[in-house]
């Protein structure tokens, strides 16, 4: 059997399968970009994916209660939802490293950078949550991000289109409103953490855009038409504004992309 540290892709798979958040973060931080990628190696999981703790309880998205951030519990629930997104984002970055074969080595190292930064974000948010007297797992959450990973497990182009270019890009759109909720609730620390996350997420979406365009060019596909077609094929609702156009442009969306979004 392949050693846990024989390749970057195998090590990423091992980290993905780790259920304990602290151990997962440690495993991510120990991933070395100098490890050989082994882009064509056949790697198979031996444990359930993704590794995650018994809590939070995962429920239908419609059953995740919305609370006012002006109450201590409501603010903690909002912070918890951000922590859950960041934990899932770690898993998504690790998953794309091990799952998809045959890409240039820079592809895998780009997603390693994303995994490390998502682990840092999760640590920041979890620490802020703990300062309020709560822990990750104290509130119910939904599994929307990982559900999309499952749906696109056999199609890299769809993964790039529907996770970084859709779900994570939506985070760029909603971040200012979430920051306002925290600011209005007097949570300056939370606003500062979201500033760090927004800065880094622009880079993450940019990586997704870069490799999406790479695959479109390689396969001689029109990026805008292909994106619309993939959304329809996977039953994904068309994005609705308002869009954070400045952040999206910084993250590599083209003017043609923005025009298409605005046409919706």
Tokens 């991510």 locate to 28
Whether 148 is in a domain gets the answer yes
The residue-averaged pLDDT of 84-105 equals: 98
In a domain, 27, yes or no: no
Mean pLDDT of 196-205: 98
Residue 213 lies in a domain: yes
Mean pLDDT score, 170-198 = 96
What pLDDT score does 61 carry? 83
> Which residue range is the domain that position 148 belongs to?
70-263
Q: Give the model's pLDDT for residue 130.
A: 97
Query: Which residues contact residue 118 at a Cβ distance below 8 angstroms, ignoring those fewer than 6 apart?
Result: 86, 89, 90, 92, 93, 204
* The two three-digit tokens of residue 136, written as one number: 């990750």
What's the pTM value of the predicted model, to 2 decimals?
A: 0.95
Range name among 2-16, 148-162, 218-232 with the lowest pLDDT average = 2-16
User: Average of pLDDT values for 157-174?
Assistant: 97
Q: How far is CA 17 from the centre of its chain?
A: 16
**What's the domain count of the chain?**
1
Which CATH number do you get for residue 150?
1.20.1260
Residue 264's pLDDT band, with cuts at 50, 70 and 90, is confident
Structural domain contains residue 43: no
Does 6 fall in a domain? Answer: no
For 117-153, the pLDDT digits (tens) are 999 999 999 999 999 999 999 999 999 899 999 999 9
Q: Which residues contact 206 (CB under 8 A, 6 or more apart)?
A: 250, 251, 252
46 lies in a domain?
A: no
Question: Is the pLDDT at 1 greater than 70, yes or no?
Answer: no
For the residues 38-54, what does the mean pLDDT come to? Answer: 95
- Residue 222: its pLDDT value, please? 97
250 CB-contact burial (10 Å; exposed 0-12 / middle 13-18 / buried 19+)? middle
Structural domain includes residue 251: yes
pLDDT grade, residue 5 (50/70/90)? low
Residue 47 falls inside a structural domain: no
For the stretch 234-256, pLDDT in tens is 999 999 989 999 999 999 999 99
**Arithmetic mean of pLDDT, 24-38:** 94
Output the pLDDT for position 68.
79
Give me the chain's average pLDDT, please: 94
Q: How confident is the model at residue 2 (pLDDT cuts 50, 70, 90)?
A: very low
């Amino acid at each position: 059997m392949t050693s846990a540290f024989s390749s970057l892709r195998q090590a990423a798979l091992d980290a993905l399968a780790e259920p304990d958040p602290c151990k997962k973060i440690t495993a991510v931080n120990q991933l070395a970009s100098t490890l050989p990628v082994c882009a064509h190696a056949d790697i198979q999981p031996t444990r359930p994916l993704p590794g995650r703790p018994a809590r939070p309880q995962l429920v239908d998205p419609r059953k995740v209660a919305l609370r006012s951030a002006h109450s201590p519990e409501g603010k903690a629930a909002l912070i918890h939802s951000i922590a859950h997104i960041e934990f899932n984002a770690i898993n998504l970055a690790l998953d794309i490293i091990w799952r998809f074969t045959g890409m240039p080595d820079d592809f895998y190292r780009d997603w390693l950078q994303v995994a490390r930064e998502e682990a840092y974000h999760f640590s920041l948010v979890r620490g802020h949550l703990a300062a309020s007297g709560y822990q990750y797992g104290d509130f119910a959450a939904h599994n929307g991000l990982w559900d999309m990973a499952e749906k696109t497990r056999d199609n890299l182009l769809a993964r790039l289109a529907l996770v970084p270019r859709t779900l994570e890009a939506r985070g760029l759109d909603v971040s200012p409103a979430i920051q306002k909720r925290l600011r209005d609730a007097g949570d300056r620390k939370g606003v500062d953490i979201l500033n760090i996350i927004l800065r880094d997420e622009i880079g993450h979406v940019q990586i997704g855009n870069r490799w999406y365009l790479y695959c479109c060019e390689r396969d001689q596909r029109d990026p805008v038409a292909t994106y619309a077609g993939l959304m329809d094929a996977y039953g994904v609702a068309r994005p609705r504004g308002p869009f954070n156009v400045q952040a999206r442009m910084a993250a590599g969306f083209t003017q043609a992309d923005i025009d298409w979004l605005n046409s919706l």
